[in-house]
Structure 1
Amino acid sequence: MSLAGWFGPGWRHGLTVGVLCALLGVAGSAMVIRAERGRLIADAGQRLADYARVMALRLDSGLADWAHDVGMLARFEVFERQPAQPSMARRLLEDLKGRSPTFSWIGFTGTDGKVIAATGGLLEGADVSARPWFRPGLAGPHLGDVHPAVMLAKLLPEDQGGGADAYFVDAAAPVHAADGAVIGVIAGHLTWRWAEGVRRELAVFAPWQPPPILRVIGTDKLVLLGPENERGKPWPQERSAGGWRETTLPGHPPAILGFARAEGAPDRPTLDWVVVAQRDRVAVLAPLWSFGLWLGFGTFGIAATGGALAGWYAGRVGSTIQRVLGGSAGRDVARQLEQLRDQAWRDPLTGLLNRAGFAAWQKALPPLDEGCAVVALDLDGFKPINDTHGHAAGDAVLRGIGAWLQGNLRDEDAAVRLGGDEFLLCLIGPSAKVEAAAREVGARLNAMLRAGVPTETGPLHLGCSLGVALLPRDALTMEAAIEHADMALYAAKRHKVPVRGASDHARVE
């Protein structure tokens, strides 16, 4: 059995519709997936920027609180006493360190830079005037950026921020005497491991798991906090103050970065760090795979359903047309529809247009601005052929005339069988040319008829008469032109001689 036999008369149309649905679905799906990708990237970027902002606020608020604590501590009366009382000062410093364990070391120095009192007695008597926090601390509240402290790192145990890779942030404030004179500096070293603790705490509440990578970038564009292999190294991109971007960092897969700056407040010091939150783009776009899979299944389902319905409907239409046309009509629905159209528009005997086909030809015709020759044509001697040789012979003559007209007229012209032995020809073109062409067609047709039309009973001889009307010379509409041509035809039959006037008419002998 052939493939058409298996799938029915509409299978080609169903397949075509299915393929078109699939192509449209793929194009639509691509647009939807592209839009969804943009949405996922933008959503992840905004959430990463928010995540980085939380880290920046935590860092900034922590630093501000410690700077405030140091500033408040500097106002205690015990530090204003002259001469200084190291034991009392040490107890107060120890008390603050106990309440705020992120302080690795707190000390009280004189204006000469020598440590008067300190937590754990560390560095008491040592000269720290060369430390970067001392001079700014004499001038006012000060926050110092992350830095290593080799001496304290060796003296402090690891659980207090000492040991290898120990880094600190400085907070310092001046101590004033009752008369307002500066008499010393209170300084605190905050362990940088505090920032690691904040990062770990935020990781628990991160919007994704595993949590995004967090980095803290200093004003000198060095990585202060981040992966171990990046700490202390330059940040390879611009230090953005906020927002997000899609980018690729050296040694990393494509990623989405969210930015936030620890800007602090006008009334308190800040270190102007930038926090960067990073998430791999592959992880961000992971939901797109399942979304695309469902979209693909949906597109396939719609294409298959549309194709099946179109094939079923076309099959039903094809089967109906087959019953109308007969079993030999074939299975191509388009060809079947063309056959139905031909049956509706063409004379079944001659193959020429019928009245309905002529009406359709007129509707499809552009405005006849150039002109048109309308020829009304009638056969002479046709009735005797029917009476003498029978209707089969008459039909053969009509078929021969139809074949001759189809072979001798242009594609844009129209040949119509109005009924019986009456015909109508429409030749499109400039009036002067188509008038001569109409007469030439009439003369050649008459010559063919007089020579004899081949039939089963032998050549049968007859003639024809015609009347010609020109658009727009003789009439402005097709209906009026046909009426003029009919009048010319009747005159030709009546007078049996050519007559010329407003409407040309002739009997072709």
Structure 2
Amino acid sequence: MNLKLRWFVTFAAWAVVLTTVISVLLTQVASNQIRQQAGNSLADVAYQMSDKLERGMFERYRDIQVAASLVAKLQLENNTEGMQRLLNRLQTTYSDYAWIGLTDAEGKVLVATQDLLEGNDVSDRPWFRNAINDISYVGDVHPALLLEEALAAEQGGEPLRFVDIAIPIRNAEGDITGVLGSHLNWRWGRELESSVINTMKLGGSAEMILVGNDNQVVLGPKELMEHEISSQALEELSLNNSGYLIETWDNGVTYVVGYAQNRGYRDYEGLDWKVIVRQPLRDTFAPVTELRKNAILVSVVVVILFAFIGWFSAERISRPLLEITAAARALGNDPRVNKIPMLRDYPEVNDLSVALNTLIQRVDDKQRQLTQLNEDLDHKVRRRTKEVLKANEDLKYEIAERRKAQLEREKLIQELERQASTDALTGLANRRYFFEHGDRLLKRAKRQDQPISMLMFDLDYFKAFNDEFGHAAGDEVLVAVGNLILGTVRETDIGARTGGEEFAVVLDSTDLEGAEMLANRLHRGLNSLKFDSIPDDRTVTMSLGIALWDREENLEHLLNRADKVMYEAKQKGRNQTVTASS
């Protein structure tokens, strides 16, 4: 791939990466902001609806309380006609009162709006039973029983729903003489829902759901009416009065859900109504989808623009480089070309032209110097030839000197043979020297009736040590152990390296006590050693066996006894000394 095409692809690739990152970040930020704004907006609508419901119910509750006090006065005056006018006027003032009626203490309707249900017995109705027992009653949304046939025509066949409010009536002595009850038409709730949604300017896909204290829907979409729903929002309302969340409902649609609950207003305790406002997530994120489409279009335009910028930039950069390349290839082939053209398209190519011409000049200078050097060298060779011929006489003298060196070499070989009795690595006696001089030491001890002790020891885990740290580290340890032995034993003792990591010491005129003392010194000395090739937390230990010489045994037998107890030391855990029994 040439520079021009590579530059074009690079610009395009960077444009794709940058526009993709920016688009993703923008849509992500927009999604988060829209999610939060939509959630807060829906939660605010739910709160407004809940607040208006509670305030509206408080006002109706106060209406009936005031009416009850007026009815009680009219009842004392036995003014039935006045009571009838009062109830009709209250219904006229607020048309959502579907029915208002006064009962006696037995539950018989005495006076009612529009004369509905007068004379009927309502003693089994919850509103009457609670009020007659001195409980101001507000009942949740429920179907109409006695009023359904009388009022159904007004609703065009739609099932009637009511909210009950009932207040006890008392005489001058404070005794309950009856109940003033009312049925508030639930169309009031539907109208309030429309008012709030229109005021808050929610989209057509937003739905409001009012849930009663039994978790049944009392206001909302037809498919949910009088059904118990399960929503995480209901659980959240037990912790917070309002908020929002995103969840998938039983219909498989994911919604942004705002929720709120106001628990009463002033002395009205409320009906534990919970308001939920939901909107499909796809409708909420419609602006984000549009933003994403626009971002993709802009990204395509930016990528194309960057690609063309890269193409023209590469053209401007590569053209002078190609001219310099052509000139460089012509050097030496075309006699008309003897330097690189000076191009000034941009500073870097100008510097390159200067640098290449400087290099060419240097090469020419070196070529001339090389020619001169060859001539000088030829002259020196001829002169050297003469000197070599003259040196033949000196060669005879050199041969004589070599003969002398040969004699010195033979002496050196003899010295090396002497040194062959010493271990080259550790400086200790080798096995041959150990046995030759050890036997002499035993013979002398037998003549002089002196004790002899044998120490045999082996470095613990030395093979694994070599494998881990290398043979150079192993040699360092062996040299250090050899120096430790040489610095610990006496000149009359014999310390030897008998194997790879095995060492033996014959102690002249030494009993077991002395041998054990020396063994302890060796242990301590080895433990204190530090090595350049080994970490400080790794130590080198040895297992050591001691045997006291029996006057009738030879050196090899003594060595075998010491070797045997040395392996007993290894079997017992290593890094310790075991003494052979007599």
* TM-score (structure 1 length as normaliser): 0.62
1:261 aligns with 2:252: no
Q: Deviations over 1:454-498 (max 9, x none)?
A: xxxxxxxxxxxxxxxxxxxxxxxxxxxxxxxxxxxxxxxxxxxxx
2:179 to 177, 185, 201: 185
2-side partners of 1:345 and 1:153: how far apart? 109
1:487-498 counterparts in 2 under 5 A? none
Aligned to 1:158: 153
SS of 2:159's equivalent?
coil
1-side partners of 2:265 and 2:194: how far apart? 25
2:103 to 105, 109, 113: 109
Aligned to 1:384: 375
1:274 aligns with 2:274: yes
SS of 1:185's equivalent?
strand
Structure 2 unaligned regions, length at least 5:
330-347, 380-582
1-side partners of 2:4 and 2:28: how far apart? 36
Aligned to 1:127: 121
Aligned to 1:317: 317
Contact 2:35-2:284 at 8 Å conserved across structures: yes
Q: CA deviation at 1:79?
A: 4.9
Q: CA deviation at 1:41?
A: 1.4
Aligned to 1:198: 192
1-side partners of 2:262 and 2:357: how far apart? 84
Contact 2:16-2:303 at 8 Å conserved across structures: yes
Aligned to 2:42: 48
1:193-272 counterparts in 2 under 5 A? 193-210=187-204, 212-238=206-232, 239=234, 240=237, 241-272=241-272
Aligned to 1:149: 144
Q: CA deviation at 1:344?
A: 5.7
| AA at the equivalent of 2:38 | A
Q: Deviations over 1:365-408 (max 9, x none)?
A: xxxxxxxxxxxxx98982407999xxxxxxxxxxxxxxxxxxxx
Q: CA deviation at 1:299?
A: 2.3
SS of 1:133's equivalent?
helix
Contact 1:154-1:163 at 8 Å conserved across structures: no
Contact 1:216-1:225 at 8 Å conserved across structures: yes
1:469-488 counterparts in 2 under 5 A? none
1-side partners of 2:313 and 2:159: how far apart? 78
1:16 aligns with 2:7: no
| AA at the equivalent of 1:149 | A
Contact 2:72-2:169 at 8 Å conserved across structures: no
Considering fraction of residues, name the structure with more strand: 1
1-side partners of 2:303 and 2:172: how far apart? 89
2-side partners of 1:125 and 1:328: how far apart? 121
Contact 1:106-1:119 at 8 Å conserved across structures: yes
Aligned to 2:299: 299
Q: CA deviation at 1:200?
A: 2.5
Contact 2:55-2:265 at 8 Å conserved across structures: no
| AA at the equivalent of 1:278 | R
Higher-Rg structure is 2
| AA at the equivalent of 1:245 | L
Q: CA deviation at 1:70?
A: 0.2
Task: Output the aligned Cα RMSD.
Answer: 3.4
1:81 to 57, 75, 92: 75
Contact 1:78-1:88 at 8 Å conserved across structures: no
Distance 1:307 1:346, change over 3 A: farther
| Poorly superposed stretches of 4+, deviation over 6 Å | 378-381, 385-388
SS of 2:215's equivalent?
coil
Q: How many residues align?
A: 350
Q: CA deviation at 1:218?
A: 0.6
Contact 1:143-1:171 at 8 Å conserved across structures: yes
Distance 1:207 1:77, change over 3 A: closer
Q: CA deviation at 1:86?
A: 3.3
Distance 1:96 1:252, change over 3 A: farther
| AA at the equivalent of 1:268 | Y
| AA at the equivalent of 1:382 | L
1-side partners of 2:156 and 2:321: how far apart? 94
Contact 1:166-1:192 at 8 Å conserved across structures: yes
Q: CA deviation at 1:254?
A: 1.4
* TM-score (structure 2 length as normaliser): 0.55
Distance 1:221 1:157, change over 3 A: closer
Considering fraction of residues, name the structure with more helix: 2
Distance 1:350 1:207, change over 3 A: same
Distance 1:19 1:257, change over 3 A: same
Q: CA deviation at 1:341?
A: 11
